[in-house]
Structure 1
Amino acid sequence: MKILHTSDWHLGQHFMGKSRRDEHKAFIDWLLALVDKESIDAVIIAGDVFDTGSPPSYAREMYHQLVLDMKARQCQLVIVAGNHDSVSMLNESKSLLAYLDTQVASQANLEEIDSHVIALKNKEGDVAAWVCAVPYLRPKDVMHSVAGQSEQEKKLGLLQMIGDFYQRVYDAACEKNKSLKTPVPIIGTGHLTAVGGQVSESVRDLYVGTLEALPTSVFPAFDYLALGHIHRAQPISKNGRFRYSGSPIPLSFDELGRDKTVVIVDTDLLAEDAFVDDLFAEPADPLQLVSIPNFQPMASLKGNLKEVIKQIAALELAADKTLWLEVTVIADEYLSDVHKRVLEAIDDKPIELLRVMRRSTVEKKNEGFEARKTLSELTVGDVFEQSLKSNLELDEDESIILTELFNACLVELEEHQQDGGEKPL
C-alpha cells in the first residue's frame, strides 16, 4: 500500500495580516489530485492541522471537507495533534470521524495504549501497516512532577517517560503483528523537535524549560517515522526513514529557498523481506518525495539599499498573482527614507511589501550559520570553520593555529575509535 506523510498545515493561519485561505485551498485540491494519481491508500497528518486552538470557521470547514473527500476516495486518514492543536476541539468530532475512516490521536492515553495503534488496510481489506499514532506529548500527559527535582533531573525524567511511552505503543503494535500470517511494517508518528532538525522562524519551541530536543535513540525501531513540527522537510536518520515532511506552504520568509514536499511511503518496499528479482540491481527506494507547487509568490531580499532596489527590478513577477515581499536593508548609518525608497521601487508592480527591516553590517558578520543549512548537511569541519568565521575577535594567524589543532584532534579521535576506544585520549 501507499501512505502519504504530511504535517504542519496550520489551517487558519494569518501571515503578517494576510490570510492563507486560498493557499490552503489550492494545496488541498492538489493533494486530492495526487491521492487519485498515485492511488494513495492512507494519509498521515503529523500534527498542527490548525494554527490555533480556536481556528476560524472556514478552517474547520476545510478540515471536515477533507475528511469527506478522503472517504469518497476510500483513502484512510490519520491525524495526530500538534502543539498548536486544541485537544478538546479535535475531540469534538473524533468519534464521528471514526465512522468516516479518519482516526484522530489528540492526546496521550497511558491507560489505553492499544488506542494509539491503528491498522491501515489495503484495497483488499487486509492489514498492510500498523500506525503508532503518537501526538504531541505534553509533559503533564506522560509524567508527574516530583518536588525538589533539579532541572537536569526533570529533563532526564521527561526523556525517559517519552521513550517509555513510545516503546509501549511500539510493543503493542508488535503484539498485533504476531496475529498476522505475515508481519507488516510499523509506522511511527511524532510531533516534536528531534536532535539534528533545523527549525525555522515560524516554529515554536517545544518542552521549553525542560527538554528542548529529543535524540533519535528515544524512538523504537520503526520502519518509518512520520514527524511533524519542523517546517523544513528533512531526514533525521542516516537511511532517511525518520523524517520531517515539512509544512506544505512557507509559514515564514526564512522557509523560502527549499522545496516543500510530501512523502509517499510504499509499505511493500519497506518490508525487510521484500523479494528482489535482480540481486545486482539497485534496491528500490520505499520513499518518494513529491514537490508541492508554490501557490503564493514570496520573496525575501537582503543587501544595501542600492542592491535591494536592483534585486526588486530583477524579480520575475506573475501577471495574475501579487508577490509578498520582505526586505532587509544592511547599513551602518541610519537611513530615514528606506521604506519610502522601497515603496517607490515596487510602484506599479504586482508586489505587496509586508516587512522592511534594518540591520548593521556587524550583525550580518555575526551570523553563525547559513539559515538554510541543516546540521545533517554539514561536516564536523564545516561546523568548526563556520564557528571560526563567526568569531570576529580572532585574527588570521590565530584561526590557522586553531584549525591545525582541531585537525590534529580529529586525527587522534579517529585513531582512538579505530583502536576500539581502548587507547586513552
Structure 2
Amino acid sequence: MRILHTSDWHLGRSFHREGMLTHQASYIDHLLEVVAAERVDLVVVAGDVYDRALPHVDAVRLADETLARLAASRAQVVLTSGNHDSAQRLGFSSRLIDAAGVYIRTDAGRVGTPVLLEDEHGPVAVHGIPYLDPDAVREPWGLAGRSHEAALTEAMRRVRADLADRSAATRSVVLAHAFVAGAQPSDSERDISVGGVSRVPTSVFDGVSYTALGHLHGPHTLTESVRYSGSPLAYSFSEADQHKGSWLVDLGAEGVISTTFVEAPVPRPLARLRGELESLLGDPGLAAHESAWLQVTLTDAARPTGAMERLRSRFPHTLVLGFEAAVPGLGSLPAERTHGRTDHDVAREFMTELRGTEPSDDETALLFRAVDACCDDSDVDTVLTEGD
C-alpha cells in the first residue's frame, strides 16, 4: 500500500495579512498530481484542515472541492481533526461521506474503531485519532492525569485492544495530532500545553506500522515509523529554512518498506534580512530576495525615515520590519546633576545621549507631551533650584 501523509493545511489562514487561499489551492493541485503520478492508494491528513473553528466560506469551499477531487481519485482518504478545527463541524455527515471513500474521523468516542482497507498483503487498519483535549476526555475516559500523554496513552490502549482482536497479518496506521517529544516547534503553531504538559513520548506509538503525525509545521523523522509531514506552506518566518511537503510511504507485508519526502511547490520564498538600511538597499548579493516575502531587522543607530517605503522600493514584498539599533550601556551616560534644568531638558538630553543624535522637532514634541503626562501638574514644568 502506498500512503501519502500530509497535515496542517490551515485552509483560510493569512500570512501577515497576505491571503494564502490561492497558494493553498495550488498545493491541493499538487497533492492530486502526486496521487495520480505516484499511484497513491491512501491519503492521510493528520489534522488542522482549517485554520479556525469557524472557517471562512471560501476556505470551506476549497475543502469541499478538495475532498470531492480526492473522492474521485484513485486514493482513499482518512482525515482527522486538529486543535484548530471544530471536530463537530468538520465531522458533519462523516458517516454519509464514508461511502465515497473519504473517512473523516473527529469523534473521540470512536477512537479504537478503524477504517479497514486491503492490499495484496492483507488487511490494513487505519486508526484516525482526532486532537484530544485532555480536559474534554479526562472524565469520560477516567484518566488519572491531566495531560496529552494521558489522553493519547488511553487512545492507543483502545487502538491496541482493537488490533489484538485482528489477525497477526494486520498492519496498522495511526493518525494523531499532538506535540511528540524530539521534534522542534515553530512560531506559527498554537500552544496546546495543559498545565505546562504538552509533550508526548514516541513510545506511546510503539508497535504501530506507521504513525502519521500532525501539529508541528516542520517535517520531522522521530523514528522510521513515526513522522511529521509538517504544513505544506510556511506560516511564520521561523519556518523560512524548512522544506515543505508530504511523506510518500510504502507499506509492505512487515511494515514500512521505504519513505520519500515529496517537496511541495513554493509560491513565494521567505527570508530574513538584517543590517543597516543603506547597506541592504545597495547590496547586489541580495538580488535573489527581491521577490521573497521578507522580515527585515534594521540596525541603524538612528531609525531611518520612511524605512518601509524605501525597503519596498527594492524589496516590494517586505512584510515585517523591526529595529535593533546598537544601544550604549546606561552606565556610559553622563551622571550630571539635574538641578537648575527642566524635566524637558533632562529627557531630551537623555534621548540624545542614548541615540547619538538629537530628536527631531516632531519627536521632541511627542517626548515633551510624554514628560508632561507624567508630572503631577501637566501644565507646569518648573525649573528646579538648589534647596527644592
> Scaled by the length of structure 1, what TM-score is found?
0.70
- 1:351–1:35 CA distance, 2 compared to 1 (3 A): same
| Alpha carbons 1:108, 1:141 under 8 Å: kept | no
The amino acid of 1:329's aligned partner reads L
Deviations 1:142-173 (A, max 9, x none): 3139xxxxxxx845x65334312212213313
Q: 1:33 maps to which residue?
A: 33
Find out whether 1:327 has 2:296 as its counterpart: yes
- 1:71–1:330 CA distance, 2 compared to 1 (3 A): same
Shift of 1:217: 2.1
| Alpha carbons 1:135, 1:190 under 8 Å: kept | yes
Q: 2:323 maps to which residue?
A: 358
Find out whether 1:218 has 2:204 as its counterpart: yes
Q: 2:53 maps to which residue?
A: 53
- 1:218–1:324 CA distance, 2 compared to 1 (3 A): same
Q: 1:163 maps to which residue?
A: 153
Match of 1:261 among 221, 233, 245: 245
Determine helix, strand or coil for the equivalent of 1:351.
Answer: coil
- 1:176–1:23 CA distance, 2 compared to 1 (3 A): same
The amino acid of 1:171's aligned partner reads A
Find out whether 1:287 has 2:287 as its counterpart: no
The amino acid of 1:168's aligned partner reads R
Deviations 1:318-347 (A, max 9, x none): 8xxx5322212235x44142xx23532431
The amino acid of 2:298's aligned partner reads V
How far apart in 2 are the matches of 1:214 and 1:229?
12
Find out whether 1:242 has 2:238 as its counterpart: no
| Alpha carbons 1:132, 1:170 under 8 Å: kept | no
Shift of 1:294: 0.5
| Alpha carbons 2:43, 2:76 under 8 Å: kept | yes
Ranges in structure 1 where 5+ consecutive residues have no aligned partner: 146-152, 273-284, 363-425
Determine helix, strand or coil for the equivalent of 2:136.
Answer: helix
Matches within 5 A, 1:68-79: 68-79=68-79
More off after superposition, 61-70 vs 40-49: 61-70
- 1:68–1:312 CA distance, 2 compared to 1 (3 A): farther
Q: 1:134 maps to which residue?
A: 129
Shift of 1:258: 2.0
Q: 1:341 maps to which residue?
A: 307
Determine helix, strand or coil for the equivalent of 1:70.
Answer: helix
Q: 2:365 maps to which residue?
A: none
Deviations 1:94-118 (A, max 9, x none): 2232121111111311xx4443x11
How far apart in 2 are the matches of 1:268 and 1:207?
36
| Alpha carbons 2:268, 2:292 under 8 Å: kept | yes
Shift of 1:70: 1.4
- CA RMSD in angstroms, aligned pairs only: 2.6
| Alpha carbons 1:142, 1:165 under 8 Å: kept | no
Determine helix, strand or coil for the equivalent of 2:117.
Answer: strand
How far apart in 2 are the matches of 1:330 and 1:93?
55
Q: 2:364 maps to which residue?
A: none
Shift of 1:302: 2.2
The amino acid of 2:309's aligned partner reads L
Shift of 1:140: 2.7
Determine helix, strand or coil for the equivalent of 1:207.
Answer: coil
How far apart in 1 are the matches of 2:318 and 2:248?
36
How far apart in 2 are the matches of 1:26 and 1:312?
32
Q: 1:365 maps to which residue?
A: none
- 1:305–1:170 CA distance, 2 compared to 1 (3 A): farther
| Alpha carbons 1:42, 1:120 under 8 Å: kept | no
How far apart in 1 are the matches of 2:60 and 2:236?
23
How far apart in 1 are the matches of 2:309 and 2:254?
53
How far apart in 2 are the matches of 1:204 and 1:311?
37
Ranges in structure 2 where 5+ consecutive residues have no aligned partner: 328-388
Matches within 5 A, 1:35-114: 35-109=35-109, 112-114=110-112
Q: 1:199 maps to which residue?
A: 185
How far apart in 2 are the matches of 1:127 and 1:90?
31
- 1:256–1:135 CA distance, 2 compared to 1 (3 A): same
> Scaled by the length of structure 2, what TM-score is found?
0.76
| Alpha carbons 2:149, 2:199 under 8 Å: kept | no
How far apart in 2 are the matches of 1:107 and 1:311?
55
Q: 2:277 maps to which residue?
A: 305
- 1:140–1:345 CA distance, 2 compared to 1 (3 A): closer
Determine helix, strand or coil for the equivalent of 1:30.
Answer: helix
